[in-house]
Amino acid sequence: MITPSAKPRRVVITGLGIISPIGMNTADLWASLAAGRSGVRALTAIPPTHLPTACAAEVPDFTGSIDDFGPLEGELKKAVRKALKMMCRECQMGVAAAMRAIHQAGLSAGTFDPERVGVCYGADYMLSQPQEFSDGMDLCGDDARRFHFEKWGAAGMGKMNPLWLLKYLPNMPACHIAIFNDFRGPNNSITQREASSNLAVGEAARTIERGGADVMLAGATGTRVHLMKSLQALVQEETAEPGVEPQRASRPFDLDRTGMVIGEGAGCLVLEELEHARARGATIYAEVLGSGASYVADRQHIANRTKALANSLRAALRDAGLKPDDIGHLHAHGLSTRRADVDEAAAIGDVFGAAAARLPVTAAKSYFGNLGAASGIVELAASVLALREGRLFPVLNYDTPDPACPVSAVRGDSTPSGKTAAHWNVTPQGQASAVVIGAVRA
């Protein structure tokens, strides 16, 4: 039962879990950002002869072993290990990020009411690997490699993993997280591509604000490093040219950018009602001040990313009770494609007006490319760390400003982060989402 609160319930961040190409924890993530260390390398997950691209931001340290899930003990460790066969790589990364966030937040048994803890997780659509079907299909072919459908039931289906479907359902990360940890509160999954992370954070925060939970895990997992998804990206989107040095391939707002870099990863934030966090002595990293979302496209379904981004941030600012001048820095979508960066720069000018010339803009995608649904949560975590450090990290490879992108991109490591940060993302289809965070206010 939801009990209305006599005063507004405030939402703070008390834990962060990261699985990224530049770090498997917050310390390594920040060290990479502070040192300007890229996570883009030569593509290894897919034979390079299969694709017209040679680089990607993979997470080589994530193997899917039980050790990747952080400090687990006893029955919990046994449960996670047993369930690994029911998770594809995206599910595994998402669950691992959550388990690490839970540990960092100190949410051990007895410190919370299971009925008051929930999960809201973002994910991309999840596609099977071809290997899930190939063995069975081979048994249904003839010497000329023709497939015979009538053989599938008797010969091919038996080669299918009976748990195949469970491995690729995008709601499974949230389900696994709740089951492993006995979280019995609200549970939701969001599949809106790059907008998923901020949508999950916004929904989780509102769940706490309206009294539906005291603690919510908000995160996302995603990948563009997948044979079918990578092919889709290469056909439908602008990707970095194959001849470029991997570490220099992702270059948001730079005149010489050629396209986005494909990547993979996951992240999770533990969101908590302020007084609940204080009562259990939790470390508070930042406060979620507001969120917003907008979808804009014309009758032909052509996206208007500029308007969608501007709408989403204005909504987040209204929710936070702030004005554009109150924002210390903007964490940009920074996709590094020629069109998307121009659209985003126009949105910055639309929202911030003349102040856009002095608003610090950073973009973690310059370090790890597009992680799909997970990009936003890792980027938001990076801004949380920047607020705590009091300084921003530079936009990598920003050598020659593009006159069509008049933004104040961060170029060194001494730019103050300010006390508040705005972060937004947008999909190619025109779905945008934004979150405003800041230091905990009195």
Identify whether residues 15 and 75 lie together within a single domain: yes
Identify whether residues 51 and 175 lie together within a single domain: yes
Is position 425 within any domain? yes
Q: Convert the pLDDT of each residue in 404-416 to its tens digit.
A: 999 999 999 899 9
The residue that leads in pLDDT, 153 or 188, is 188
Tally of domains in the chain? 2
| pLDDT at position 7 | 65
Handedness of CA 294, 314, 335, 169 (dihedral sign): negative
Identify whether residues 146 and 244 lie together within a single domain: no
Identify whether residues 178 and 242 lie together within a single domain: yes
Full residue range of the structural domain in which residue 155 is found: 131-165
Identify whether residues 273 and 368 lie together within a single domain: yes
| pLDDT at position 284 | 98
Mean predicted lDDT score pLDDT of the chain? 93
Is position 1 within any domain? no
How far apart, in whole angstroms, are the C-alpha atoms of residue 284 and residue 277? 8
Q: Convert the pLDDT of each residue in 210-224 to its tens digit.
A: 999 999 999 999 999
Cβ(251)–Cβ(41) under 8 Å? no
Q: Convert the pLDDT of each residue in 59-91 to its tens digit.
A: 999 999 999 999 998 999 999 999 999 999 999
Identify whether residues 224 and 279 lie together within a single domain: yes
Is position 6 within any domain? no
User: Which residues, including other chains, have CB under 8 Å from residue 365's CB and lie 6 or more apart?
Assistant: 250, 252, 260, 261, 333, 334, 335, 336, 375, 379
Residue 103 pLDDT > 80, yes or no?
Answer: yes
Is position 4 within any domain? no
The neighbour count for residue 31, using CB atoms within 10 Å, is 13
Identify whether residues 261 and 408 lie together within a single domain: yes
Q: Domain containing 218 — which CATH number?
A: 3.40.47.10
Is position 427 within any domain? yes
How far apart, in whole angstroms, are the C-alpha atoms of residue 402 and residue 400? 6
Q: Convert the pLDDT of each residue in 325-361 to its tens digit.
A: 999 999 999 999 999 999 999 999 999 999 999 999 9
Q: Convert the pLDDT of each residue in 5-35 to its tens digit.
A: 456 899 999 999 999 999 999 999 999 999 9
Q: Which residue type does 212 have?
A: G
Residue 131 pLDDT > 90, yes or no?
Answer: no
How far apart, in whole angstroms, are the C-alpha atoms of residue 379 and residue 195? 12
Residue 116 pLDDT > 70, yes or no?
Answer: yes
Identify whether residues 315 and 431 lie together within a single domain: yes
Is position 336 within any domain? yes
Identify whether residues 106 and 216 lie together within a single domain: yes
Last residue of a domain, one of 141, 165, 189: 165
Is position 415 within any domain? yes
| pLDDT at position 6 | 55
Identify whether residues 141 and 56 lie together within a single domain: no
Is position 3 within any domain? no
Residue 1 pLDDT > 50, yes or no?
Answer: no
How far apart, in whole angstroms, are the C-alpha atoms of residue 359 and residue 431? 24
Identify whether residues 324 and 391 lie together within a single domain: yes
Cβ(265)–Cβ(374) under 8 Å? yes
Last residue of a domain, one of 147, 165, 183: 165
Identify whether residues 347 and 390 lie together within a single domain: yes
Q: Convert the pLDDT of each residue in 268-318 to its tens digit.
A: 999 999 999 999 999 999 999 999 999 999 999 999 999 999 999 999 999
Tokens of 291: 């969120």
